[in-house]
Structure 1
Amino acid sequence: MTTAAAVSPSLLSVHLRLVGMAVLWGASWPMGRVLAQTMPPLAAAACRFLFAGAILMLWLAKTGRLAALRDWGAKRWAGMVLAASFGVFGYATFFMSGLQHVPAGKGALVITLNPVITLLLAAWIFHERLNKRIGLGMAMAAVGAAIVITKGEPWHVLDGRVGIGEVLLLGCVGCWVAYTLIGRKVMAGVDALTTTAVTAAIGALMLLVLTLVVDGTAGVAGVMAAPRHAWLCMAGIVVGSTALAYAWYFDGVKALGAGAAAGYITLVPVFGVVFAALGLGEVIDASLLVGGTMAIAGTALMNLGRR
């Protein structure tokens, strides 16, 4: 009884942080849409992670964890670079570029593919269990996401008639799945805050280099000339959706496993669609409603199957 009582509050706090992560990531879709429409996308992504990385590094220094980085070996640094390449550099590039072409609510629903692919690969690599209920949930989520992506005509997935925005968002899915699974290996012996801070800082430098190569100084000028409401969205993404949410997500991966933590991404599209409708006035059409309901129900069924 003593052990259970001691463990329970700790696990509850992990679950609550994962719910908070879902709220913040849901809000990141309409905020990201605003940034993609008002700033050069690569420069906006670089700016996001430069600010977030700086905040997280200061947090590390304040908590006395920054000095521990000096003891890391080449293998650990290589793992962090690999994680940053997918979870920060790749994901942010696809995220901002995709939101130039796709409404925020639709983009948020495409991400329901994350837990499907993550759980499949986690079962293969880490031997996390699957069963019939999980399999049915995966099928529902995949079909629902296909309905959203193809505007109610999922058979067009087979003939390649999918827009560039949807393809870019599928790149987000691939990068995030890789980030989640790599993070589980990289985090052995490293706390979530340190992992998030280091990968954010490394990814920010990668994004900055890409921005200067592709856009030059015009990209930086475009960010500086953005309107006030865009900078408010940037602040929300930096502090909430990046600094806090990333740390909470990795807390969940470490405490519950890759598949279980990714299951909370089920809630992201719900908050994303709601915030996009309320904040940007985006219309929820039939394909978005039907496909989104299937995708969310499918990922919820997957979570029930895990229990």
Structure 2
Amino acid sequence: MNESSKHTKIYLLMVLAAFFWSGAFIAGKFAVPYIPPCTLTFLRFFFAVIILYFVMKAHNKKLGEEAFYLKKEHIPFFLFTGIVGMIGYHILFFSSLQYTTAINSSVIGAANPIVTTIIASILLKSKVPPKQLLGILLSFLGVILTITSADLKVLTSFSFNRGDLLMLAAVLCWAAYAVVSKSKGNSINPIALTYYSFLFCCFFSLPLVILEKPWTFIHQIPISAWAATLYMSIFASVIGYLVQQMAIKEIGPSRSSVFVNLVPVFSIILAVIILGEELVFIKVITAALIIAGVYICQKFS
């Protein structure tokens, strides 16, 4: 397989990952009302760890058990990815929704590719070609127009509150996770990297879960919330993160993070199909802007 076709496969997989991540927002609507942020974060990755354990076992014969050993020199790396990338991002994201609007959090979240590119350029000394920057900005513009339905009055009333600051911190956690994964995780098998990041997340989130006293509400969680949590575990976490790690290794954190801007596009589609929301023409135009931005970023990077 040549370099071009190999990257095409990664691009298609990242589009699929973006679709699964958009589904997580829908699933979260069913889970958040019944499960607090720390407990929801723990459960999401607890089920994911179980699945990934069997995935690793299935790959032992092909790659050898040594490919999945937890090495002493990798512990600081997994401490960072597990605590900052997993616990930090998800708890901050779930918590932000308690204090701010979906519009504010989505606009701030859309800054992820830009923040990742900036951090990568600083820490990894990677250059950002002008056309790639154009693609990022175009895609970011499409996200803003999608979220606001091209109503500039929404932007003029935009103001920061506690939730906005929490979401900004979440974006920083995600960007740092992506960049560190690229700079420090190249020698680690993607499955092992994802598994141990999730495992460290579960272990270090336990004290926070205890503070939420899950024994007082876990018996009241409906089946729909459990199903939503399992969706986030299997599709958004196991498949989504595995694909992301493959993409980070192949095309870098900046280029892979741009696909996050496809999430609002898929969210619109899922909202129409599942929630029965009306699809207006302006959202079709803004979705095209986002896709064009992603294409430009990948084509000229």
Q: Does 1:122 align with 2:116?
A: no
> Is 1:253–1:261's contact at 8 Å kept on the other side of the alignment?
yes
Q: Does 1:189 align with 2:187?
A: yes
- Residue identity opposite 2:188 in structure 1: V
> Is 1:48–1:234's contact at 8 Å kept on the other side of the alignment?
yes
Could you tell me which residue of structure 2 aligns to residue 59 of structure 1? 55
- Give the distance between the partners of 1:6 and 1:298, measured in 2 at CA: 25
Within the candidate set 272, 275, 298, 2:270 is matched to 275
Structure-2 change in CA distance of 1:66 and 1:25 (3 Å): farther
Within the candidate set 87, 90, 95, 2:88 is matched to 90
- Give the distance between the partners of 2:100 and 2:258, measured in 1 at CA: 24
Aligned runs of 1:152-301 on 2, under 5 Å? 152-154=153-155, 161-213=159-211, 215-216=212-213, 219-280=214-275, 296=290, 299-300=293-294
- Give the distance between the partners of 1:291 and 1:168, measured in 2 at CA: 30
Tell me whether 228-237 or 162-171 shows the greater mean CA deviation: 162-171
> Is 2:96–2:163's contact at 8 Å kept on the other side of the alignment?
yes
TM-score normalised by length of structure 1? 0.81
Q: Does 1:43 align with 2:43?
A: no
- Give the distance between the partners of 1:295 and 1:162, measured in 2 at CA: 26
Structure-2 change in CA distance of 1:15 and 1:133 (3 Å): closer
> Is 1:152–1:291's contact at 8 Å kept on the other side of the alignment?
no
Per the TM alignment, residue 60 of structure 1 is displaced from its structure 2 partner at its CA by 1.4
Per the TM alignment, residue 220 of structure 1 is displaced from its structure 2 partner at its CA by 4.2
Per the TM alignment, residue 261 of structure 1 is displaced from its structure 2 partner at its CA by 1.1
Q: Does 1:19 align with 2:15?
A: yes
- Give the distance between the partners of 1:290 and 1:113, measured in 2 at CA: 21
Percent same amino acid among aligned pairs? 20
Q: Deviations over 1:240-259 (max 9, x none)?
A: 00011100000000011111
Structure-2 change in CA distance of 1:260 and 1:141 (3 Å): closer
Structure-2 change in CA distance of 1:85 and 1:109 (3 Å): same
Structure-2 change in CA distance of 1:130 and 1:76 (3 Å): same
Per the TM alignment, residue 234 of structure 1 is displaced from its structure 2 partner at its CA by 1.1
> Is 2:124–2:183's contact at 8 Å kept on the other side of the alignment?
no
TM-score normalised by length of structure 2? 0.82
Per the TM alignment, residue 100 of structure 1 is displaced from its structure 2 partner at its CA by 4.0
Q: Which consecutive residues of structure 1, in runs of 5 or more, have no partner in the other structure?
A: none
- Give the distance between the partners of 2:51 and 2:137, measured in 1 at CA: 40
- Give the distance between the partners of 1:281 and 1:220, measured in 2 at CA: 35
Aligned-residue CA RMSD in angstroms?
A: 3.3
Local SS of the residue matching 1:63:
helix
- Give the distance between the partners of 1:191 and 1:128, measured in 2 at CA: 23
Structure-2 change in CA distance of 1:139 and 1:20 (3 Å): closer
- Give the distance between the partners of 2:278 and 2:93, measured in 1 at CA: 21
